[in-house]
Amino acid sequence: MTSPLSSAGIFITLEGGEGAGKSTQIQRLAAALRAASHDVVVTREPGGSSGAEAIRGLILSGGHGFSPVTEALLFSAARLDHLEKTIRPALARGAIVLCDRFADSTRAYQGASGGADPAILDALEKIVVGSTQPDLTLIFDLPAAEGLHRAALRRGAEHADRFESEALGFHEKLRKGFLAIAAQDTQRCVIVDATGSIDQIAETIHAIVFEKIKARAR
Ligand code: TYD
């Protein structure tokens, strides 16, 4: 069985824990795709539309003590706005959409680590994402302690956000959560070893994505 394709365009998501290097790789991938004359939209969650960016600030400030289910509802509201305003229009015109985090982050952060009931997360995903499932998801994997260390270096003197401040145990569950998602959906997900060099990881990812594009054109 092949994964359902989202529409005319190609929807690619990048997922993983903190400090995995997704932001660097998404820019490199976008540049490589644009150099090959593809129409590329780079976006992120939470965010990617003005309403979703406003919700992002609300959640990541960490000042409200939201429960994991409340967070899942807020991330889902942000996601729906992002889908309606940015992702679906881009896919409809045939663009390649590269999205830094998407629904798997809710399953891993609010579900596997936060403990939100998977049935609630399934129901939300059905309502919000519906048939706009990613065609390909790259899951960046590295030991939680290494990711947190990298995130702290990147942040410098800035405060850790709501999730970066969580204990190591939270991030270890997160890693297992992402690996479990990859194991459940092998058609859509590819695990990327994020411990390699930036160039090595870029080369691996570019090969996977260009192969996906070729397969779509067949
Ligand atoms: P961001 O600074 O974009 O993190 P990163 O660079 O690690 O991608 O912050 C987004 C944070 O929100 C990140 O810690 C993951 C978390 N998150 C969730 O908990 N659930 C979600 O559904 C999404 C999309 C993100």
Judge contact between 138 and 127, C-beta under 8 A: no
Per cent of the chain over pLDDT 70 is: 97
**What's the whole-model pTM score?**
0.95
- pLDDT confidence of residue 63: 85
Taking CA atoms, 60 is separated from 7, 170, 216, in Å, by 31, 16, 37
pLDDT of 126 higher than 50: yes
The sheet with strand 40-44 has its strands ordered as 40-44, 96-100, 10-16, 136-141, 189-193
Instruction: Confirm or reject: Cβ of 45 under 6 Å from ligand 1.
Output: yes
Instruction: Confirm or reject: Cβ of 61 under 6 Å from ligand 1.
Output: no
pLDDT of 27 higher than 70: yes
Longest dimension (CA), the chain: 50
- CA 99 to chain CA mean position, Å: 6
**Total residue count of the chain as it appears in this document:** 218
- pLDDT confidence of residue 134: 98
- pLDDT confidence of residue 172: 97
Instruction: Confirm or reject: Cβ of 109 under 6 Å from ligand 1.
Output: yes
